[in-house]
Amino acid sequence: MKTEIIKINNPATAQDELCRAAQILRRGGLVVFPTETVYGLGGDATDPDAARKIYEAKGRPSNNPLIIHIAHPEDAEQYAVTNEYYYRLARAFMPGPLTVILPKKDTIPVEVTGGLDTVAVRCPSHPVAHALIKATERPIAAPSANISGRPSPTSADYCISDLEGKVDMIIDGGECDIGLESTIVMLRGSTAVLLRPGAVTYDALCCVCETVELSAAAEGTLAENERPLAPGMMYRHYAPNAPFVLLDGAREAFIPYIQSRRMSGEQCAVICSAEEAKALDEKNTVIYGDPEDLTTQAHRLFSALREADVLGCDVIYARKPATDGLGLALYNRMIRAASHTVIKI
């Protein structure tokens, strides 16, 4: 299949391109588009065949459900059973990086929800994503636009390298602002269960919901034989090709540890701060932000994993991040990219 690649920076001046993309989606095709979290691999969420195509293009197991993207929070009425707690979350965080799991209506086929009777709903704030959903006049089912298991794409180039030839169109809308996938919550009465941490943090949810529970998968403590509430949290994910290892210890121990690995002859790549890279002579280092600057680390993490891979080393190291605020989302992605390999230093 030939993939058309187009650039859209401002939807207001790209009506023709958006109409073409919407037409592809309405005819059952696939369009990759930017969102504020990561790029999405979109198909018509009311079309079971489009869902099948998404799973095939991504190489994703079809029991791992897709998130549906809507233009306005109240559009959820057509596809899901909402309640006052959904609207509380919507008022606080939508449009934005929050996904809410709700009981599904028949308008959404089970192919989209991996056989579940619930559906994941999100209303993205990215202007291109919003304009595309509006132009399509359908909800768009979209997982992250990467080959299953690879780091999620935060720029169009990564989507092109993973999906060119497998989708009808890729819309290049520049770099994604946040860089980590949406926060996912499931509502149990007035309790919000946090299934996947993201830029809407645990503390932010606590300001809006009566009770917030942290699932084991969100915390990174899910046992190997346990089933997570969000099926996707079960799979090894976000992983570069080289083994990725988290180092858990004080800042002072990090540089000497890497130096000792180098002395032993190990070819190691390191994802770290600019200051740490300097201390390591900038050899096989990839900078992803200062330890205190979680926003930049989140923005850069997935690119950093891909960049580290290109260095062709035997192993990639990074320090285990603090797990408060946005750090929980970072830690959640890193621990899974590392397949839970953590070394105490």
Q: Which residues of the shown chain bind ligand AMP in the complex (CB under 6 A)?
A: 64-65, 67, 101, 113, 116, 118-120, 143-144, 181, 184, 229-233
Which of ligand AMP, Mg ion, none does residue 119 bind (CB under 5 to 8 Å by kind)? Answer: ligand AMP
By C-beta, is 37 or 284 nearer to ligand AMP?
37
Residues that bind Mg ion (CB under 5 A): 144
Asked if 17 and 6 touch (Cβ cutoff 8 Å), the reply is yes
User: Could you give the 3-state DSSP secondary structure of residue 41?
Assistant: strand
What are the tokens at 335? 């621990």
What are the φ/ψ torsions at residue 225 (nearest 5 degrees)? -95, 5
Which of ligand AMP, Mg ion, none does residue 44 bind (CB under 5 to 8 Å by kind)? Answer: none
**Cis before residue 139, ω within 30 degrees of 0?**
no
By C-beta, is 123 or 287 nearer to ligand AMP?
123
CA distance linking residue 78 with residue 85, whole number of Å: 17
C-alpha dihedral sign at 128, 59, 1, 30: negative
Closest contact distance (angstroms) between CB of 4 and ligand AMP is 23
What CA–CA distances, in Å, run from 38 to 124, 175, 297?
11, 9, 14
Closest contact distance (angstroms) between CB of 148 and ligand AMP is 8
Closest contact distance (angstroms) between CB of 83 and Mg ion is 27
| Position of minimal CB gap to ligand AMP | 232
Closest contact distance (angstroms) between CB of 115 and Mg ion is 18
Closest contact distance (angstroms) between CB of 7 and ligand AMP is 24
Which of ligand AMP, Mg ion, none does residue 120 bind (CB under 5 to 8 Å by kind)? Answer: ligand AMP
Task: Return all residues near 82 (Cβ < 8 A) that are at least 6 apart.
Answer: 76, 102
Which of ligand AMP, Mg ion, none does residue 231 bind (CB under 5 to 8 Å by kind)? Answer: ligand AMP
By C-beta, is 60 or 261 nearer to ligand AMP?
60
**Cis before residue 97, ω within 30 degrees of 0?**
no
Which of Mg ion, ligand AMP, none does residue 334 bind (CB under 5 to 8 Å by kind)? Answer: none
Residue with tokens 């399509």: 136
By C-beta, is 167 or 280 nearer to Mg ion?
167
By C-beta, is 118 or 144 nearer to Mg ion?
144
| Position of minimal CB gap to Mg ion | 144
Residue 86's H or E segment, with its range, is helix 84-93
Closest contact distance (angstroms) between CB of 311 and Mg ion is 24
Taking residue 254's Cβ as centre, other Cβ atoms within 10 Å add up to 22
C-alpha dihedral sign at 150, 152, 157, 163: positive
